[in-house]
Chain A
Amino acid sequence: MSLTVHRPVTASPAPGRAADAADARVVVRRARRAPRRHLLRLVGVLVVVLVGAFAARVLLGDYTVTIPDFVRILGGEQIPGATYIVMESKLPRAVLAVLAGLAFGIGGAIFQTTLRNPLASPDIVGVSLGASAAAVSAITLAGWSGWPVSAAAVAGALGVALAVRGVAGDHGGFRLVLAGIGLAAAMQSVIQYVFTRVDEWDVQLVLRWLTGSVNGVAWPSIGLLALSLAVLLPATAWAARSLPATELGDDTAAGLGVGRGRTDVLMLLGVLLVAVGVAAAGPIAFVAFLSGPIARALNRGRTTLLAAGLVGAVIVLVGDHVGAYAFADLNLPVGVVTGAFGAPFLLWLLARGHTGRRVA
């Protein structure tokens, strides 16, 4: 095949050319700005939704608190009954839901984007359950509490992530997902074994570590999570600058000057985010899996970690609200709600057949 140079076809006569070029410049500029503007609008809308959900979670429910009362409680005023309910039950639940949702949403989106497979989210490939198994072992068998539990969760998550990678080799795709499913089953067995060792069977404990729950978490654990996120999120924002290149695949990314090292750092941050979230709230089912694809669809098919985090926070807040108040005299943990409604979405994704094609 000979090399041919395609000359631009000039249809318009010379006088109109300058005007056309100016028009083209405007069009291109607008096309380039549109996604950015759309993302800003989306983030704005999500923040509004998040604030609304947060307010609903804290103020409404079986015990309604007025906004002036809420402000006074935050100011330190003691209102009999209301202060206790807000400060010890509603507010910590809502704050933890936002933080855990952010961590899971962003961590999940990092996994799905760098591995380029929506099924390869940390809750499906066993990373969340690995963190949970390590945390619950540290708490019940070793009697740890506080930051060592978070450290154990990080170690568990890293262990599973490395094991999955070891089994699947360099190939992402379905081998990674299958290896992860197997390891998730193993981690679930570990958690179940730990529960058989506990003398007194604590339902809340089981629910926290098997399905995830934001119920009954003390302020210190929430503070620890907030502190971890304060370090991890800026680091993620810095490392994610290379994400658009990473999404194009290893070879193309390398060609664009983004080496494997950058991708590995980003994955590590994803594992850490998920692990600290699990250490506080347990492996809340399917939040990491759902947030990325939803944020992507809202953002017209473009990946966005920030929107994924916000979507995750909204999911956990709303899920917790539904679990707490949707059924009379039944307080379902948020993980049961997200699991019950997240699984059909996964099945739908599989039925559409858009996943798992990327073999090796």
Chain B
Amino acid sequence: MSALAPTRDAATDPPGGGPRRRLALPASAAITVAVLAGAGVLSLVVGARAVPLEALWEPGHPLAPVVQARFERTVLGLAVGAALGLAGALMQGLTRNPLADPGILGVNAGATFAMVVGMSTFGLATMGQFLPLAFAGAALAAVLVHTIASLGRDGATPMKLATTGAALTAGLSSWTTGLLLADRRTMESFRYWQVGTIGGRGFDVLLSGLPFLAAGTLLALTGARLLNTLALGDDLARGLGRRTTRDRLVIALAIVLLAGTATALAGPIAFVGLVVPHVVRGLVGPDHARVLPFSMLAGAALVVVADTVGRVVLPPSEVQVGIMAAAVGVPVFLALVRRTGRAL
């Protein structure tokens, strides 16, 4: 396999990227896991109150409550980041679009809007009640954006998808604001959630979302081969005996589960799903069997690092992880627009 890898990678590289030498798979895996572990430890130690390392294992250390709070936050960050990274990789594979991301294509906005509707009109309050709404909203938004962008002769180009997603996000956020204005109490609790944050949420929040994250991840990882076939184009995939519509639905379901749960847990965080798959493809190549698991790990690391940096970058206040993600993601987005501009 190692002898074949370089030629295959060179053949399947996107135009413009050019063939390049990649690290062997074990090395990439080791680096990613090391980065992830480092990010986790940093997230426990760094913050407004610095914690010495020994507080992590010493029982009864005076700073143990701080560590406990940061541990909950870190685990939530890992879960949300993994879901967003995976959802982004799935969307980019499914739409064959380098600019796809659950935030940019309006899926997160759909989930947010559905949750606010549930909160303000039906008085829902628990995470278990929010999740179905978040899924419904995410699914509706995804279908709407894809349908509108697919109309017209040229089909769903990256440009039309991104613009349609931005339009839907803008409109939905107006409706969301309108609903929130009618209900001040809800608005106050939405203040940080709406920006995207993983701080101050307990394990119970994560636990109610965990089954859906697990289901989405399972679907996604079994769908890696489907994505590889779909990447060849619909005609070829059908010629290879795939039922492309069913395959698409499987992947779309995984995206809705992952992006919907991540939004319900941590608010609409954009750009993580955009940045991570691009970095990962540079590391391990275009095979989805590798891109998907690596995107999970890298997404988790990115969210935790962004959250940690956000705690200390502009004291005394914290910068929410959603804002940090935008700070990292926008330059990457602009670079992608510049690079893909000629090809499209």
Contacts and interface: CB of A to CB of B under 8 A. Distances in A.
Nearest to A210: B177
Interface stretch (B32-40, B59-67, B291-299, B320-328): B320-328
Contacts of B187: 203
Interface in A204-255: 207, 210-211
B204 interface: no
B13 interface: no
Contacts of B185: none
A340 B175 contact: yes
Grouping DSSP codes into helix (H, G, I), strand (E, B) and loop, the B interface class, with mixed when no group exceeds half, is helix
B328 to A, nearest CB: 11
A190 to B, nearest CB: 8
B257 interface: no
B152 A185 contact: no
B270 to A, nearest CB: 7
B171 A352 contact: no
Grouping DSSP codes into helix (H, G, I), strand (E, B) and loop, the A interface class, with mixed when no group exceeds half, is helix
Interface stretch (A85-93, A97-105, A173-181): A173-181
Contacts of B341: 168-169, 171, 175, 360
Contact of A353 (B99, B152, B168, B271): B152
Contacts of B192: 196
Interface string B163-178: 1101110111111011
B174 A167 contact: no
Contacts of B184: 203
Interface stretch (B23-31, B45-53, B223-231, B329-337): B329-337
B319 interface: yes
Interface residues of B, number: 50
Given A177-B159, A181-B163, A285-B174, A343 B168 contact: yes
B151 A179 contact: no
Interface in A312-356: 327, 330-333, 335-340, 342-344, 346-347, 350-353, 355-356
A192 B334 contact: no
A274 to B, nearest CB: 16
A196 B171 contact: no
A196 B330 contact: no
B334 A182 contact: yes
A195 B195 CA distance: 10
Contact of B171 (A333, A344, A359): A344
Contact of B191 (A167, A174, A201, A351): A201
B11 interface: no
A119 interface: yes
A343 B109 CA distance: 13
A286 interface: yes
Interface in B119-171: 148-149, 151-154, 157, 159-160, 162-164, 166-168, 170-171
B338 interface: yes
A301 B326 CA distance: 39
Given A178-B337, A189-B327, A343-B174, A196 B162 contact: no
B188 interface: yes
Given A197-B317, A343-B167, A211 B159 contact: no
Interface of A: 119, 124, 167-169, 171, 174-175, 177-179, 181-186, 188-189, 192-193, 195-197, 201, 203, 207, 210-211, 285-286, 327, 330-333, 335-340, 342-344, 346-347, 350-353, 355-357, 359-360
6 contacts: A179-B337, A185-B104, A193-B323, A336-B181, A347-B168, A351-B151
